[in-house]
Amino acid sequence: MSSEAAATRPRVLSGITATGKLHIGNYIGALSVWAREQDRFENYFFIADLHALTIPENIQPDALRERVTEIVALYVACGLDVDKSVLFLQSRVPAHASLAWIFNCVTPIGWLERMTQYKSKSDRANPSAGLLTYPSLMAADILLYQPDFVPVGDDQRQHIELTRNIAQRFNSMFGEAFSIPEPMIRTSGARIMGLDDPNVKMSKSLAESRDGHAVGLLDPPNKIRKTIMRSVTDSGTEVRGDGLGAGVENLLVLHEALTDTTREDSLAEFEGKGYGVLKKALAEVVIEHVSAIQERYNEIRADRSYLDRILAEGAEKAANIADETARNAMRLTGLL
C-alpha cells in the first residue's frame, strides 16, 4: 500500500503483551479482526514487550525473546500482511518509554490506583512501580500514533478511557498535542471466556498455568479436542435457547465467531441437541482454523531472517510517526 493511499484511511493501533501463549480468544477478539479489516485502515500493530516487565519475578530473558518471535510469526500466520500493516516491537521504538515518563508526571496517582487490572494484581508482596504506571505506558503506546480507532477486547474499555483522559489532561495543561481515539470493539466474540470457568475471561497467563482453560493457537489437534470436550457447561444436557448457561453461551459464541454465523443460525443447528454434539462441532471448526494458522506459522518460523526483517522495517516505519509526536510533546513541556 502506498503512503498516499494509507494516509487517506483512518489509522488504527493495537498490540498484544509478550506474556503467555496466544489462544483462540486472542484470535477471535483481536487477530482475526485486525486481519479482516486491513484494507479499511492504516494499520499499526505492535508486540508489547516492555509491559512484560511489570512483574519482575516472572521475567525469563530467553523465554521473553522466544515469545516475541512466536508472536510476530503468529501475527503473520493469522493473516496480517506486512504490505498493509506495520508490525513492530514496542521496545525498539524508544519514544514509547520517553512519552510514558511524561505521562507518568501528568497522570494523577488516583487514576492509576482505580485501574481494575492493577487492583487484581497488586495483592502480591511489594508490587513494582511499573505495575502501577503501566497504563501510562499503554497511553503512550496509543497516543504516539494519533490513531482514530483502537481495536481492543471488551475488557480494555477502561484503559482506552484512561488514555483519552490522559490525552485531554495533557492537551489542557500544555496545548493540543494528541487526538482523542475511539475504541473499536467487535459486537460478537469481544469477550471469550475460559473453557474451564465461563465466568472468567480467557487469559494468556491462565492458559499457561491451568490445563483446559484455553485452546492455544499452537496446540495439537488431540489437545484441542480434549480441551473442548471437557469444557464446563452447566447442569443441563441439551442446548436450549431460552435458558443458556454461561458455559454453553461461550461455546456458541466461539462457534458463531469462527463460522461467521448468528445466534439464530446456531439455535437452528444445535437447539434440542446434547452438549456433546455442540462440543464436537466446535472442536472440528477450531481444529480447522488452528491447523491452517499452524501450517503458515511453521513456514514463517523456518525463516528467522524474514522475522528479523519484519521487526526492523516495522520499527523504522513506526518511529517515523512516534518520534514526531514525542518531539512535539517535549517541545510543549519545555524539554526541547
Cα torsion 144, 312, 98, 66: sign: positive
pLDDT at residue 124 above 60?
yes
Say if residue 2's pLDDT is above 50.
no
Phi, psi angles (nearest 5°) of residue 244: -80, 130
Confidence at 185, pLDDT banded by 50, 70, 90: confident
pLDDT at 79 over 90: yes
Give the residue carrying C-alpha cell 518531539. 327
The SS3 call for residue 200 is coil
Average pLDDT over residues 134-158: 91
300: left (phi over 0), alpha (psi -120 to 50) or beta: alpha
Residue 39's SS3 state is helix
Which residues of the chain are in CATH 3.40.50.620 domains?
3-186+303-333
Burial class (CB in 10 A: 0-12, 13-18, 19+), 262: exposed
Per DSSP, 28 falls in state I
CA 101 to CA 267: how far, in whole Å?
51
Q: Which residues contact 106 (CB under 8 A, 6 or more apart)?
A: 166, 169, 170, 173
Q: Which of 21, 84, 119, 201 is catalytic?
A: 201
- Model pLDDT, residue 125: 61
Q: Respond yes or no: is residue 201 known to be catalytic.
A: yes
Which CATH architecture describes the domain 3-186+303-333?
A: 3-Layer(aba) Sandwich (3.40)
Which residues, including other chains, have CB under 8 Å from residue 289's CB and lie 6 or more apart? 24, 27, 258
Q: In the CATH scheme, what is the code of domain 204-298?
A: 1.10.240.10
Tell me which of 191 and 321 has the higher pLDDT: 321
Q: What is the DSSP letter of 335?
A: -
Phi first, then psi, for residue 86 (nearest 5°) are -90, 120
Predicted TM-score of the model (pTM): 0.91
For residue 42, give the 3-state DSSP assignment.
strand
Percent of the chain with pLDDT over 90: 78
DSSP secondary structure, 182-193, as one string: EEE--SSSSSPB
In the block, residue with C-alpha cell 488452528: 290
Task: Give exposure, 181-209, as e/b (b: 16+ Cβ within 10 Å).
Answer: bebbbbeebbbbbbbbbbeebbbbebbbe
> Nearest CA to 150 among 136, 167, 164, 132?
164
Q: What is the pLDDT of residues 264-274, one digit of tens each?
A: 999 999 999 99
pLDDT per residue as tens digits for the range 193-250: 999 999 999 988 888 888 999 999 999 999 999 999 999 998 888 998 888 899 999 9
Name the amino acid, one letter, at 82: V
Distance, in Å, from the CA atom of 103 to the CA atom of 19, rounded to the nearest integer, reads 24
pLDDT(59) > 90: no
**DSSP 8-state code for residue 194:** P
Specify the DSSP class assigned to residue 84. Answer: T
Separation CA 208–CA 305 (nearest Å) = 28
pLDDT value for 184: 86
Given the residues 21, 84, 204, 226, select the one marked as catalytic: 204
| 121 included as an active-site residue | yes
Single out the catalytic residue among 121, 223, 280, 317.
121
Count CB-CB contacts under 10 A for residue 243: 9
Residue 123 confidence (pLDDT) above 70: no
